[in-house]
Amino acid sequence: MRNGAPKSALFDAHASVAQALGSGRRAEIVDLLAQAERSVEEIATEISQSVANTSQHLQVLARAGLVRSRRDGTRVYYRLASDRVAELWAAVRDVAVRHVAEVSVLADEYLGDRRGVEPLSSEELSERLARGDVVLLDVRPEPEFLAGHIAGARSTPLEALDELAGKLPKSREIVAYCRGPYCVYADDAVRLLRARGLKARRLDVGYPEWRRAGLPVEIAS
C-alpha cells in the first residue's frame, strides 16, 4: 500500500485554495478584483477595512496563488491570477445560493425590495444592443469601466446618475449593470431611473460574467 502522506499533502494543497476563500472579506476582495486591478488602498476603502488588515488578507490570497501583485512607485496593485479564479468564486457563490438557505435571506436584506427591479438576461441584452433599442449604463466606479466594460455601455457611476437622468431618452428602455448579480449599484440605479419616470431594468449578471461568456467587451483607450 502506498504511503498516505503524499496523498494527504496533495489534498491539503487543494484545500488551501478553499481555505484562502474562507473569509467573507477575502471573498469580497476576489469579487472586487474580478472587475479590475486595484491598489491595496483602494481595496481597503471598498471593503471597509484598514490597509493593514487588507494587506493581510491579500497575503493569504497570494500564498494560495489566487492573486498576483505589482509595485508602481510606493503603491502595490493586486489582480486575480487568472480568469479561473473568478470562475471559482462564481461557482462558490452559486453553490451557496442553491444550498445555504441563509444566503437568500441575507441577499434580500442587503439588496432591499426588488419587486420593482426587473432583471434582463445577457441573451436578451445582446439582441437588443444589436438592434440599438436600449441605452446601457455601467454604474460601477469609473476605474472599473476603464479597465473593461460591455461594448456600447456608457460610464455612469451611481453618484452621477441623478444628474444624467433628465437627459436620458424616455422612448428607450435603460439597462443598468454593475459588478454582478449581488451588486446593489444596479438595483439602486433602476430605482432612481424609475422614480424619474424612465423605463429601466438591470442586467441579471455583471461585467465579469458577461466577459467570461464571450460576449462583446471594450477597454477604454
pLDDT the model gives residue 58: 98
Helix (H, G, I), strand (E, B) or coil at 38: strand
**What integer pLDDT is reported at residue 7 of this predicted model?**
87
Cα separations in angstroms, 82 against 22, 65, 67, 108, 189: 19, 10, 8, 31, 30
Let me know if 36 is exposed, middle or buried by CB neighbors in 10 A (0-12, 13-18, 19+). buried
For 35, which DSSP code? T
Q: How far apart are the C-alpha atoms of 120 and 9, rounded to whole Å?
A: 45
φ and ψ at residue 168, rounded to 5 degrees: -85, 145
Fold for 111-218, please state it.
Oxidized Rhodanese; domain 1 (3.40.250)
Sequence spans of domains, the chain: 4-87, 111-218
CA 140 from centre of chain: 9
pTM: 0.87
Q: What is the pLDDT of residues 126-138, one digit of tens each?
A: 999 999 999 999 9
Q: Give me the tens of pLDDT residue by residue for the chain, a chain 221 residues long.
A: 566 788 899 899 999 999 999 999 999 999 999 999 999 999 999 999 999 999 999 999 999 999 999 999 999 999 999 999 999 999 999 999 899 888 888 888 888 888 789 999 999 999 999 999 999 999 999 999 999 999 999 999 999 999 999 899 999 999 999 999 999 999 999 999 999 999 999 999 999 999 999 999 999 76
Residue 3 in grid coordinates: 504511503
Question: Catalytic amino acids?
Answer: 178
Annotation: CATH topology of 4-87: Arc Repressor Mutant, subunit A (1.10.10)
Cell 434582463 identifies what position?
Answer: 120
| Burial per residue of 42-55, b for 16 or more beta-carbon CB atoms within 10 angstroms, e otherwise | bbbebbebeeeebb
Which cell goes with 38? 486595484
How confident is the model at residue 113, as a pLDDT? 81
Report how far residue 151's alpha carbon sits from residue 136's, in angstroms, rounded to the nearest whole number. Answer: 9
- Grid cell 489534498 is found at 11
